[in-house]
Amino acid sequence: MLSRKGIIPEEYVLTRLAEDPTEPRYRARERRARFVSKKGNCNVAHKNIREQGRFLQDVFTTLVDLKWPHTLLIFTMSFLCSWLLFAMVWWLIAFAHGDLAPGEGTAVPCVTSIHSFSSAFLFSIEVQVTIGFGGRMVTEECPLAILILIVQNIVGLMINAIMLGCIFMKTAQAHRRAETLIFSKHAVIALRHGRLCFMLRVGDLRKSMIISATIHMQVVRKTTSPEGEVVPLHQVDIPMENGVGGNSIFLVAPLIIYHVIDANSPLYDLGPSDLHHHQDLEIIVILEGVVETTGITTQARTSYLADEILWGHRFVPIVAEEDGRYSVDYSKFGNTIKVPTPLCTAHQLDEDHSLLDALTLASARGPLRKRSVAVAKARPKFSISPESLS
């Protein structure tokens, strides 16, 4: 409303007060597929895998990768099957020794108080989970029973170690920590130090640090080789920079990571008109680091399509000093403002520096001119009469 009345220039008005995924400002056009979703999930389906046995060679990783209902089902069935298996063994030992027929067996049974399969099943549970109610016990009458007791204890310990390890790894998976690593919904392209730069904002919601955090970016697009080979997912690594230089970042507060669009960049010939027509362009951002509390390496991913890149915008500051410490306002994490930016590619800007000089001169004269006009309007007008001159 203020911009319509001319009080505040339109280029200094916030484009979005807050990010609302239900009401996007720029609607993404439909494309065939997206390689990486905004949440970091890879949109790849594996089909027609003939060598399924390779998954069984790494049983532990296969169990960790399963969904929770399947993992809990396997967890429950592994214990039930082992209890039933050894219950059958204990019942056979008692049957062979004649302990099931009262009054016909020897005076000392192999296992006391086993008279049916139900009692053998209860004894199997007591042995494996070491409950020890005291009603049933192995005697020295049968050496085979002592051997089965040792085997069942070893098998029970192995099942406990494997299944509890799988449960622990599933609850402490690295991607759970990545849920609190956030990226800006949109990326921007604007001038920084006289060069066009691709910029995005990354932040960490937790107070615990991500140690040795590094960030990488790739451009994925469909290309065709000179020989006519079609590459549907051609990945090109491009360098990212931050305030301290290099890929390593100190993510104690949200940072603006940027990529300088130079002659070696795949975005060198990308202009503002291409952002709404370039359907095959997708920029993937990968953040990796070690979780300070657990020591597990985590990875957070996101991607930006061409129509999710705002040309001529800049992120608003969200870090301020309050009461002797720095405060971060995450409500403005994705907010941007319009800034003067050449409406040309970085290639054209390198060939014709006059575009940048004209833009710099216009941005420098604009505030001065507006200020002079405001001062002239505020200055009082005096009328001089001939009598006052005499």
> Which pLDDT score, from 0 to 100, does residue 209 have?
84
Provide the whole-model pTM: 0.66
In sign, the C-alpha dihedral spanning 256, 257, 260, 261 is negative
As a whole-number percent, the residues of the chain with pLDDT over 70 amount to 75
Best mean pLDDT range from 44-58, 163-177, 187-201: 187-201
Q: What is the pLDDT of residues 121-153, one digit of tens each?
A: 999 999 998 887 778 889 888 899 999 999 999
pLDDT band at 376 (very low <50, low <70, confident <90, very high): very low
> What's the whole-number average pLDDT of the chain?
78
107: left (phi over 0), alpha (psi -120 to 50) or beta: alpha
As a whole-number percent, the residues of the chain with pLDDT over 90 amount to 21
In sign, the C-alpha dihedral spanning 86, 87, 91, 94 is positive
Environment class of 111 (CB within 10 Å of its CB; exposed 0-12, middle 13-18, buried 19+): buried
Residue 3 has pLDDT above 80, yes or no: no
> Which pLDDT score, from 0 to 100, does residue 37 have?
77
Residue 217 has pLDDT above 70, yes or no: yes
> Which pLDDT score, from 0 to 100, does residue 133 have?
77
pLDDT band at 194 (very low <50, low <70, confident <90, very high): confident
Task: Give the whole-angstrom CA distance, residue 353 versus residue 348.
Answer: 9
Task: Give the whole-angstrom CA distance, residue 103 versus residue 100.
Answer: 9
> Which pLDDT score, from 0 to 100, does residue 89 have?
95
Distance of alpha carbon 315 from its chain centroid, rounded?
Answer: 21
Residue 14 has pLDDT above 50, yes or no: no
- The residue length of the chain stands at 390
Please provide the DSSP assignment of 71-92 as one string.
Answer: HHHHHHHHHHHHHHHHHHHHHH
> Which pLDDT score, from 0 to 100, does residue 167 have?
86
Task: Give the whole-angstrom CA distance, residue 267 versus residue 349.
Answer: 13
Domain boundaries, the chain: 53-172, 177-359
> Which pLDDT score, from 0 to 100, does residue 383 have?
41
Domain 177-359 has CATH 3.40.50.2300: no
Domains 53-172 and 177-359 share a fold: no
Distances (CA, A) of 69 to 57, 62, 73, 175, 233: 22, 14, 6, 19, 34
> Which pLDDT score, from 0 to 100, does residue 274 have?
79
pLDDT band at 118 (very low <50, low <70, confident <90, very high): very high
**Of 1-15, 125-139, 215-229, the least confident:** 1-15
Residues 210 and 290: beta-carbon distance below 8 Å = yes
Distance of alpha carbon 113 from its chain centroid, rounded?
Answer: 57
Residue 263 has pLDDT above 90, yes or no: no
Distance of alpha carbon 294 from its chain centroid, rounded?
Answer: 17
Residues 141 and 110: beta-carbon distance below 8 Å = yes
> Which pLDDT score, from 0 to 100, does residue 158 have?
92
pLDDT band at 358 (very low <50, low <70, confident <90, very high): low
> Which pLDDT score, from 0 to 100, does residue 228 have?
80
> Which pLDDT score, from 0 to 100, does residue 360 have?
62
Q: What is the pLDDT of residues 240-250, one digit of tens each?
A: 765 555 567 88
Residues 336 and 308: beta-carbon distance below 8 Å = no
> Which pLDDT score, from 0 to 100, does residue 178 have?
78
Q: Where are the alpha helices (DSSP H) in the chain?
A: 2-5, 53-57, 59-65, 68-97, 117-129, 143-171, 174-177, 346-351, 354-378, 386-389
Residue 290 has pLDDT above 70, yes or no: yes
Mean pLDDT for the stretch of residues 195-207: 90
Task: Give the whole-angstrom CA distance, residue 79 versus residue 76.
Answer: 6
Q: What is the pLDDT of residues 61-109, one digit of tens each?
A: 888 888 889 989 999 999 999 999 999 999 999 998 888 876 654 578 8
Residues 55 and 48: beta-carbon distance below 8 Å = no
Q: What is the pLDDT of residues 42-57, one digit of tens each?
A: 777 777 676 666 766 7
> Which pLDDT score, from 0 to 100, does residue 245 have?
53
Best mean pLDDT range from 32-36, 223-227, 354-358: 223-227
Q: How many CA atoms lie within 13 A of 129 on its CB side?
A: 12
Domain 53-172, CATH number (from 1.10.287.70, 3.10.20.30, 3.20.20.70, 3.40.30.10):
1.10.287.70
